[in-house]
């Protein structure tokens, strides 16, 4: 069977947008076919804002997530392999789904002993721990104070956290 990841990603993206929240994806920044600006890579994971207000030409197909976004005021094409998407969740409350870190899906990737583990629902916690949440209209890193509840002039809402719920 083909991977369920692109289907779940499309469904959760639609659900998040329909509920007026900001969809974000956690991406494995070490993936070979990943095309993002070098300035966005700050570790082995990166968070990208894929809200309709933040990106243009969003396409989630069976192999890649692609879109055009502005990073530090400059438009860039972004290509993310589906297998590099580790989670999709809302910026506001962290609700979404975390996917298992795995290679390609399908019969070639299956050892024949047991099916690979399925996606795990998540709620709450910063999945990457790198603090690279994206801001409205900008899919790049957000180093600004708006999300820090302790900073002067901050909104006090804090960053959402992803937490695995079993």
Question: pLDDT by residue for the chain (166 residues), tens digit each?
Answer: 999 999 999 999 999 999 999 999 999 999 999 999 998 988 999 999 999 999 999 999 999 999 999 999 999 999 999 999 999 999 999 999 999 876 544 333 333 333 334 443 333 333 333 333 344 344 443 433 334 334 334 444 455 556 566 5
The rounded distance, in Å, linking the Cα atoms of 51 and 33 is 22
Given a contact cutoff of 8 angstroms between Cβ atoms, the answer to whether 122 and 155 are in contact is: no
Rounded Cα distance, 64 and 85, in Å: 9
User: Could you give the CA distance from residue 4 to residue 24 in angstroms, rounded to a whole number?
Assistant: 19
Residue 130 burial by CB count (10 A; 0-12/13-18/19+): exposed, middle or buried?
middle
């Amino acid at each position: 069977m083909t991977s369920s990841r692109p289907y779940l990603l499309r469904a959760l993206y639609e659900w998040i947008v329909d509920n007026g929240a900001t969809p974000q994806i956690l991406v494995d920044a070490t993936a070979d076919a990943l095309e993002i600006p070098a300035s966005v890579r700050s570790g082995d994971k990166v968070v990208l804002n894929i809200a309709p207000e933040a990106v243009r030409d969003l396409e989630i197909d069976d192999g890649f997530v692609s879109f055009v976004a502005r990073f530090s005021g400059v438009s860039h094409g972004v290509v993310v392999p589906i297998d590099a998407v580790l989670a999709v969740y809302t910026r506001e409350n962290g609700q979404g789904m975390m996917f298992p870190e795995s290679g390609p899906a399908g019969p070639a990737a299956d050892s024949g002993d047991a099916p690979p583990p399925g996606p795990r629902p998540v709620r709450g916690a910063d999945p990457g721990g790198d603090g690279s949440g994206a801001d409205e209209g900008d899919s790049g890193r957000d180093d600004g104070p708006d999300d820090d509840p302790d900073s002067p002039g901050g909104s006090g809402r804090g960053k959402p956290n992803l937490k695995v719920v079993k």
